[in-house]
Structure 1
Amino acid sequence: MVVELQQASCSICCCTFMSKMLTVIFMILLTIAILLGNLVTLVVFLGFKRACTPQGYLRASLAVADLAVGVLVVPFSVYMEILLMLKESSTEWEADTLFSHYFQPCTVIGTVYAGCTLVSISTIFLLTIERSIAILRPLHKEAVITRKRTLSLIGITWVASFFLAVSPLIFSQGIMLQYNPCSRMCNFALVAGGLPQNGWKILLLFPAFDFTLLGGTVAINILSFSSIRQYSKQRKLLAKSKLSRPSFSDIKAAKTIATLTLAFTASFSPVAVFVVGNVLGCQWCDFSFFAFWILTSNSCWNVIIYSVRDQKFRQRALELLALSKAAGAADS
């Protein structure tokens, strides 16, 4: 199958060799940041028994989704950029000359990217619900939020997210996944001869799903923070009574999750605008690069937010660092 690389006349797609090298260096540095940050997150939330809580499992699931982006998605973009730099004289290439006719890597890489993005927002939504229960119904927290239920929800989230990620390929014969030289990503594209109006509409599922969950997340956060504000005003009275109230750690965790929500909303919004623009027939080469890589960069922001907002996370990370130093000194 011959696939035309739809290149718009723009500075990103037709950049100099030095600009391409800087882009590759940026991708490599981003890969390192994603891998290191999320490996630390996984070790902190799964390597310490104190952190093996429902909230810890949800944060670990979020880290796994981000880690998959760092292991598969970004390195493949680095590989393709280097490959295309060697073939930069061609404006059209045949997929069979690069990969097997029966296996196109972008089908896997693009699905992983879309699926992990959906897993991230779904997990943030579950984290928000978990914190809202801890704040609004602290006496019911242990009974409602159990490890078994949390692990079941995580499994459902992954299955549903990846089903939604492949739905454009299943329900529309006019759409495929291919490497886009503008965004430097494996993106959905029309099969040669496909009808745009029939093919692209299904892609609106992604922004609709994400903004529905983000809207619900924001609404739950507002409800939780309203309760926190009311508690703050009445803390003196509550201190003298036996009424249940959220703990300080629950409040801090709620604020951390609210920060995660804002960061994801800010990073996903440009991609949503780009998808809607594609459905309407717009082709924004420069904008597609910045939109998709802003979203990809969000995969290393979670550990930064934890480090700034979560004191327990910092302490456990420092304990981990101390243990690694001690092990290194013992080996030497």
Structure 2
Amino acid sequence: MLGNGSGQSSNCTDRGQALAGEVCKLLLMVFLIITITLGNLVSLLVFLCSQQFRTSQAYLKASLALADLAVGLIVVPYSVYREVSRLAYGMGQDTGPADRLACLITGPIFAGCTFVSISTICLLSVERSVAVLKPLHRKTVITKRRTVWLILASWAVSFCLAVIPMLSSPDITFQYNSCSKLCNYAFPPHQLPGSHWNVMLLYPVFDFFVLGVTFVINAVTFATLHQYCKMRKQLGEESQSGNRLSFSDITAAKTIGILTAAFSVSFFPVAVFVVGSVVGYQWCQFSFYAFWILTSNSCWNVAIYSIWDPKFRQGLWQLFHKPVQTPVSWHPSRSLEGHTSAPACVVVLKEMFRPESI
């Protein structure tokens, strides 16, 4: 009798610890929803509503914030819903057409936004490299219109990549995984991955290729900045006559380098997990940490901007400390300094596609 009582007590303790662990994971998801949503909304407002951020670089950063915001508003809330349903009603796997449809929506969104993030960081590195290497020609090389088309192309290519596995094999689909707490690529039950599962290797190959190119570009940029700073220190103000690099240009390059390093660190565990899954390993606990480290990267960007970019901090301060409009500005017959009452989003869209003078 004592042995049975001790065994039951041990089982209850194990169940209690397991439940506590699941609740902690659920609280982490809720915390990520709040931080990702608020952080990226603030970033979008700063980049799109501040006049000093109406630049090509700001449009790229806004695209990055929009991809992260989609993760916080769509992907993570669905995971919270599934985990609450599982803890409350014992619903673990996809139980109906609605759940499968939801995974077919949230799964590609998560994969596509991940590709958008890495491609946008690469475009940011290219933009900074041109600004550092060719500061006198950057306005003619990097225009807002070209930047917008590159952003649209990166989104289109990224979401095409996200659905390639499903199009290449009818056996591959999206299914909610109780280990990773996300909708991941999966095979039907009781079916082991076949040779066509190797299409999943396209993702780590693509991501590591883009990251490699980004690191090379950043290395060239930082080498040039090092030489520039060294020359400016030796010659003083005279060194600035032939080069128009400002402190904000140097700071922006450093910020993008930090963004690249942060994304690389967060993506590496997922790449290891994907390769292991193709080989045949089943890493349940590791899959949770790998995917949610990558998901948490969506709330790092605003912190990186706030710490390393004084221009962003200035835009953030201006966003929440705008002066109150004087009554004279309400008269439609008066036009002060060319100001209009058009919404900020309309102004931004007009500036995106407005022909730029060279």
TM-score over 0.5 (shorter chain): yes
Superposed displacement of residue 321, structure 1: 2.3
Does the C-alpha gap of structure 1 residues 13 and 110 become closer, same or farther in structure 2, counting only changes over 3 Å? farther
Specify the alignment match of 1:4 in structure 2. Answer: none
After superposition, the C-alpha distances for 1:298-324 in whole angstroms (9 at most, x for unaligned) are 000000000000001111112222249
Question: Residues of 2 paired with 1:318 and 1:94: CA distance?
Answer: 46
Specify the alignment match of 2:237 in structure 1. Answer: 239
Q: Aligned AA for 2:66?
A: V
Q: Aligned AA for 1:239?
A: E
Specify the alignment match of 1:69 in structure 2. Answer: 71
After superposition, the C-alpha distances for 1:285-306 in whole angstroms (9 at most, x for unaligned) are 1100000000000000000000
Specify the alignment match of 2:176 in structure 1. Answer: 179
- The answer to whether residue 45 in structure 2 is matched with residue 34 in structure 1 is no
Rg larger in structure: 2
Question: Residues of 1 paired with 2:132 and 2:175: CA distance?
Answer: 45
Contact 1:34 1:299 in 2 (8 A): yes
After superposition, the C-alpha distances for 1:199-228 in whole angstroms (9 at most, x for unaligned) are 321111111111111000000010001101
The match for 1:120 among 114, 117, 122 is 117
Q: Which secondary structure does the structure 2 equivalent of 1:95 belong to?
A: coil
Superposed displacement of residue 279, structure 1: 0.3
Q: Which secondary structure does the structure 2 equivalent of 1:183 belong to?
A: coil
Contact 2:248 2:311 in 1 (8 A): no
TM-score norm. by structure 1 comes to 0.88
Specify the alignment match of 1:299 in structure 2. Answer: 298
After superposition, the C-alpha distances for 1:238-292 in whole angstroms (9 at most, x for unaligned) are 7325322422211110000000000000000000000000000001111000000
Q: Aligned AA for 1:284?
A: W
Specify the alignment match of 1:308 in structure 2. Answer: 307
Question: Residues of 1 paired with 2:258 and 2:59: CA distance?
Answer: 19
Q: Which secondary structure does the structure 1 equivalent of 2:194 belong to?
A: helix
Question: Residues of 1 paired with 2:251 and 2:71: CA distance?
Answer: 28
Does the C-alpha gap of structure 1 residues 14 and 296 become closer, same or farther in structure 2, counting only changes over 3 Å? farther
Question: Residues of 1 paired with 2:143 and 2:275: CA distance?
Answer: 39
Question: Residues of 2 paired with 1:193 and 1:252: CA distance?
Answer: 53
After superposition, the C-alpha distances for 1:181-200 in whole angstroms (9 at most, x for unaligned) are 00001011112354513232
Specify the alignment match of 1:141 in structure 2. Answer: 138
Superposed displacement of residue 120, structure 1: 0.2
After superposition, the C-alpha distances for 1:115-162 in whole angstroms (9 at most, x for unaligned) are 000000000000000000000010110000000000000000000000
Question: Residues of 2 paired with 1:308 and 1:100: CA distance?
Answer: 42
Specify the alignment match of 2:253 in structure 1. Answer: 254
Specify the alignment match of 1:8 in structure 2. Answer: none
Does the C-alpha gap of structure 1 residues 13 and 50 become closer, same or farther in structure 2, counting only changes over 3 Å? farther
Specify the alignment match of 2:347 in structure 1. Answer: none
Count of residue pairs brought into register by the alignment: 310
Contact 1:217 1:261 in 2 (8 A): yes
Question: Residues of 2 paired with 1:246 and 1:198: CA distance?
Answer: 52
Superposed displacement of residue 22, structure 1: 1.7
Q: Aligned AA for 2:271?
A: A
Q: Aligned AA for 2:257?
A: A
The match for 1:169 among 163, 166, 169 is 166
Specify the alignment match of 1:289 in structure 2. Answer: 288
The match for 1:189 among 180, 186, 190 is 186
Question: Residues of 2 paired with 1:186 and 1:243: CA distance?
Answer: 53
The match for 1:47 among 46, 49, 57 is 49
Q: Which secondary structure does the structure 2 equivalent of 1:246 belong to?
A: coil
Question: Residues of 2 paired with 1:112 and 1:18: CA distance?
Answer: 30
Specify the alignment match of 1:211 in structure 2. Answer: 208
Q: Aligned AA for 1:160?
A: V
- The answer to whether residue 267 in structure 2 is matched with residue 268 in structure 1 is yes
Question: Residues of 1 paired with 2:157 and 2:94: CA distance?
Answer: 33
Contact 1:13 1:285 in 2 (8 A): no
Contact 2:94 2:175 in 1 (8 A): no
